[in-house]
Amino acid sequence: MYVAKCVPAAQGPKFTSGLTVALVVEEHGIPAGGPLPTAKGEITAYHGEWCWALLRHLDGGRADENDPEHMRRAGETLGAIHTALVNTPPPPDILSWDHLDVMMVAEAPFLEDKPWIQQAMREAHETVAGNVTVGLLHADASMNTFRVKPDSMGLFDWGEVMYGPLLFDVATALSYLDRSMDVGPLLRGYMAKSPVSPSELPHLGALLKFRAAAEAWIYARREWVGNDIGNIGDLSNANLLDRARKNLASAEQDGERFLSQYE
């Protein structure tokens, strides 16, 4: 089975680069829902205002965060992916942790009454700079994007690839989980297969803080331009922005709690 996916043409270069990373992951035997080549041998094809790709459907069921075995295997899969990508040079047109000035520094009208967003991003960035392993990462991994089979687990949806702290992927996956979850199996699985040192885990709080602030930046911008992408009620930009601010406030405490579950 295959899946056709498109993004706005302006996002095509980043989308294409992300899919090249998915191909590298698949070359290491990890299912990633990578692209099939076009008739011209390219990864994506442009048509009108859209950039298209035909992707391999990732078989298997959704990973269950209530199953410790699934959590462990998800962690192992993410760690194995990071290890597989260690020597892969960053493709063009992706975000880089060292070049986020547009988000962290640049003035924007939608941030005029929200200085806390960029302040939090700068604080988190300064905390981890030079203290964590960096490389290519998925950038939006969650239990929803893992697919599990008896003999394998894969990770799909590679359109947001970035170059940055590998633990950012872990922080992102943790940020989607309910606070009542025991994340120990995921963390232990990840550390068993990843190139990251256990000494880096105390930086999870700062990375959770950066994740929450980055989400707040996105929601603030959407709200300012009037783009709700069809979300209303609890998922309105205003509510999502409020949730991001609350997540930011608890990030350091959440990081400490996650670390205690690993130990």
Q: List the domains of the chain with CATH numbers.
A: 62-262 (3.90.1200.10)
Mean pLDDT over all residues of the chain? 95
pLDDT at position 262, please?
A: 94
Give the model's pLDDT for residue 102. 81
More confident residue, 147 or 179: 147
Q: pLDDT class for 233, splitting at 50, 70, 90?
A: low
Summarize pLDDT for 81-126 with one digit per residue, the tens: 999 999 999 999 999 998 888 889 899 999 999 999 999 999 999 9
The structure tokens listed for 229 are 């992408």
Band the pLDDT of 225: cuts 50, 70, 90: confident
Q: Which pLDDT score, from 0 to 100, does residue 238 have? A: 87
- Looking at 19-28, 117-126, 232-241, which range is the least confident one? 232-241
- The residue type at 154: G
Give 6's pLDDT tier (boundaries 50, 70, 90). very high
How far apart are alpha carbons 93 and 22 in whole angstroms? 15
3-state helix, strand, coil in the chain (%, to 5): 50, 15, 35
CA atoms within 13 A on the CB side of 175: 31
Does 145 score more than 90 pLDDT? yes
pLDDT reported for residue 227: 76
Name the pLDDT band for 229 (thresholds 50, 70, 90): low
The mean per-residue pLDDT over the stretch 8-22 comes to 97
Determine the Cα–Cα distance for residues 21 and 35; give it in Å rounded to an integer: 10
